[in-house]
């Protein structure tokens, strides 16, 4: 069958009559050499005709014109090629357009000032900016803070630290806020007058051997704290085989036995350091900052004595998170209360993007933020040593680091995953139970460079923080660390974490799924993928030598609590 071709009808148009606006005219002979007779006939296609070219004139560019145009384009492009030469070079070296979509799983640094403010990265500029922030009453910030940190998400009112505090926070007046800020600056100036440095510089490690500039800081020196510390040292040196130098800090009234000191140094290759500053009530929180400031380490991993390492801490320094901002903090189970007066003091709005830090472990570089990370340690020390001012604004040391970053408008990094609760099927008194009770935290590791473009990557467990287990007696060793419970989608910035709430019940860490399971095959599924999963810890640790040692030392851990 011959395909149908619509016919084209042609009509003669007189030259004196111009074509109508709706017609499509075409003159195949509209050149200067065409004769009048040829020009007297124009072709007009009927509505059935295919459209033809609207012009027969050809655009020609002369060599001199092309040269001028190319020269102008080159002059305009030179600044771009100079200032972004690395990007331009990378573009021409690759056969695809590079994007950052594959790195969305890596949380960006938190807490810094917006770039549009153009506040220089100097201590003077940051302190002046703090003083210039408005000092407001609680009601003037209430709506904004409660909008950013709404009560219907996460655990705020149920957090025991917040009990009875809103009334105190509300009484902090604008005059008090200005006093807080002035006290911060006065303290830093006092440190400077007494010969201390507020901003890190190269001279601070000029006489420090290269191998001693990065290490591990531990604290503890008496009783059960010392016994748990020995478990950590055993894991670090004998199981994980870390070669990093280790400093152990203690107060003057601790570790007085010469034989005990010698045994620790010889068996675990550590350095014992003595610092002052024990709180009048006997609390040992203050030792952390005293150790951080006294240490010659420029970079360090810190761990509480009740925190069992599960990976060589050396690997954490090579992570993407650490290299982004020079500090990493792991999340705690509660969120900020929007009415806390600390936000008015540091001049910042409460936001759910930030999790309070669980300071049983931290990764820190004093050189970070152009050396201002050192000022963070001093400012945190000011907050810890003034409980009359900050005792009702923060819970011990855990919040003071983050609040110091807020005060100076400096970025810090959050670990990429929320913790898992760890424990077993027994009550807090050691009786077997059909219900799971989590009394410890699994804090996950960080993202290695090799996983930069792998959104499916999940770090292995890095720390086992026995935060409640150390207070329990008569626990069964076989059920001490038998299982973990975690949100299925556990990214620190995962919006669906609002469906998996952590709560401290007084006995255990409870992880509750709000609403039905999100797995596609679940009954009445939410189909968002979120849920709560339970795993044997040995499977998470790949049933390797680390798991076998954790299983073995469970006996030792339980015995410590029995004494």
Q: What angle do CA 176, 181, 185 make, to 5 degrees?
A: 140
Residue 494 CB neighbours (<10 A)? 18
For the chain, what is the domain count? 2
Contacts of 550 (CB under 8 A, 6+ apart): 308, 310, 464, 481, 537, 541
Give residue 131's pLDDT: 97
CATH classification of the domain holding 206: 3.90.550
In this structure, the answer to whether residues 373 and 295 fall within a common structural domain is: yes
Do both 385 and 531 map to the same domain? Answer: no
Angle at 101 between CA 97 and CA 106, to 5 degrees: 135
295 and 351 together in one domain:
yes
CA 187, chain centre distance (Å): 29
Can you name the residues that pair with 442 across neighbouring β-strands? 420, 464
Q: What is the pLDDT of residue 154?
A: 86
Query: What spatial distance separates the first Cα and last Cα of the chain, rounded to whole Å?
Result: 100
pLDDT value at position 50? 41
What pLDDT shows up at residue 80? 58
Taken as a whole, the chain contains a residue count of: 563
Range of 441's domain? Answer: 420-544
3-class DSSP assignment, residue 287 = helix
CA dist., res. 284 & res. 223, Å (int): 13
**Burial class (CB within 10 angstroms; exposed 0-12, middle 13-18, buried 19+) of 121:** middle
Say if pTM beats, i.e. exceeds, 0.85: no
451 and 393 within one domain: no
For the chain, 563 residues long, the average pLDDT of each consecutive 10-residue run is 42 43 41 40 38 52 80 72 50 42 76 91 97 97 96 78 88 98 98 97 95 96 92 98 97 92 97 84 77 97 97 97 94 92 96 91 97 97 93 88 96 96 94 95 96 94 95 93 97 95 88 95 94 97 94 95 78
CB 140 within 8 A of CB 386: no
Which residue, among 210, 226, 308, has the nearest Cα to 270 in the 3D structure? 226
Tokens 């040196």 found at:
237
**One domain for residues 289 and 392:** yes
Q: Is 128 within the bounds of a domain? A: yes
Task: Say if 68 falls within a structural domain.
Answer: no
For the chain, what is the largest distance between any 2 Cα atoms, rounded to a whole number of angstroms?
Answer: 122
Give the C-alpha distances (Å, rounded to integers) separating 192 from 196, 295, 313, 379, 381: 5, 18, 33, 12, 14
Residue 305 lies in a domain: yes
Q: Which residues contact 526 (CB under 8 A, 6 or more apart)?
A: 499, 515, 516, 517, 518
């Amino acid at each position: 069958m011959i395909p149908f071709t619509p016919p084209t009808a042609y009509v003669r148009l007189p030259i004196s009559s111009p074509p109508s606006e709706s017609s499509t005219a075409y003159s195949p002979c509209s050149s200067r050499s065409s004769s009048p007779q040829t020009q007297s006939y124009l072709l007009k296609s009927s509505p059935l005709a295919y459209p033809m070219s609207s012009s027969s004139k050809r655009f020609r560019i002369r060599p001199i014109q092309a040269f001028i145009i190319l020269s102008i384009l080159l002059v305009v492009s030179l600044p771009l090629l100079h200032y972004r030469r690395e990007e331009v070079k990378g573009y021409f070296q690759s056969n695809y357009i590079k994007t950052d979509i594959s790195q969305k799983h890596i949380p960006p640094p938190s807490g810094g000032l917006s770039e549009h403010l153009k506040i220089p990265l100097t201590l003077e500029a940051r302190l002046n900016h703090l003083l210039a922030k408005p000092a407001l009453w609680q009601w003037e910030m209430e709506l904004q803070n409660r909008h950013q940190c709404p009560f219907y998400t996460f655990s705020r009112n149920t957090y025991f630290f917040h009990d009875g505090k809103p009334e105190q926070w509300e009484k902090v007046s604008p005059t008090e806020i200005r006093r807080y800020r002035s006290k911060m600056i006065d303290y830093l100036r006092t440190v400077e007058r007494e010969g201390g440095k507020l901003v890190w510089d190269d001279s601070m490690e000029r006489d420090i051997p290269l191998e001693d500039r990065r290490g591990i800081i531990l604290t503890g020196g008496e009783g059960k704290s010392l016994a748990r510390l020995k478990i950590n040292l055993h894991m670090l040196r004998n199981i994980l085989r870390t070669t990093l130098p280790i400093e152990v800090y203690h107060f003057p009234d601790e570790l007085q036995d010469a034989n005990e000191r010698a045994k620790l140094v010889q068996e675990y290759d550590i350095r014992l350091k003595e610092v002052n500053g024990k709180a009048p009530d006997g609390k040992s929180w203050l030792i952390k900052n005293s150790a951080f400031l006294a240490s010659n380490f420029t970079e360090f991993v810190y761990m509480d004595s009740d925190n069992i390492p599960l990976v060589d801490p050396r690997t954490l320094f090579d992570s993407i998170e650490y290299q982004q901002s020079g500090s990493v903090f792991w999340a705690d189970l509660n969120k900020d209360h929007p009415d806390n007066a600390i936000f008015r003091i540091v001049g910042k709005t409460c936001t759910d993007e930030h999790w309070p830090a669980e300071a049983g472990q931290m990764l820190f570089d004093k050189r970070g933020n152009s050396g201002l990370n050192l000022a963070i340690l001093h400012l945190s020390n000011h907050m810890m040593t003034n409980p009359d001012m900050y005792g009702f604004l923060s819970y011990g040391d855990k919040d003071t680091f983050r609040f110091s970053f807020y005060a100076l408008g400096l970025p810090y990094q959050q670990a990429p995953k929320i913790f898992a609760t760890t424990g077993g099927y027994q009550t807090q008194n050691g009786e077997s139970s059909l219900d799971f009770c989590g009394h410890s935290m699994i804090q996950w590791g960080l993202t290695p460079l090799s996983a930069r473009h792998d959104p499916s990557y999940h770090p292995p467990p890095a720390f086992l923080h026995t935060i409640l287990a150390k207070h329990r007696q008569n626990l069964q060793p076989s059920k001490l660390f038998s299982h973990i419970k975690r949100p299925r989608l556990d990214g620190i910035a995962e919006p669906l974490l609002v469906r998996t709430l952590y709560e401290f019940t007084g006995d255990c860490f409870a992880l509750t799924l709000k609403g039905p399971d999100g797995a596609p095959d679940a009954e009445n599924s939410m189909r968002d993928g979120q849920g709560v999963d339970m795993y044997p810890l040995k499977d998470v640790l790949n049933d390797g030598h680390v798991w076998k040692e954790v299983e073995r030392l469970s006996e030792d851990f339980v015995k410590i609590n029995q004494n």
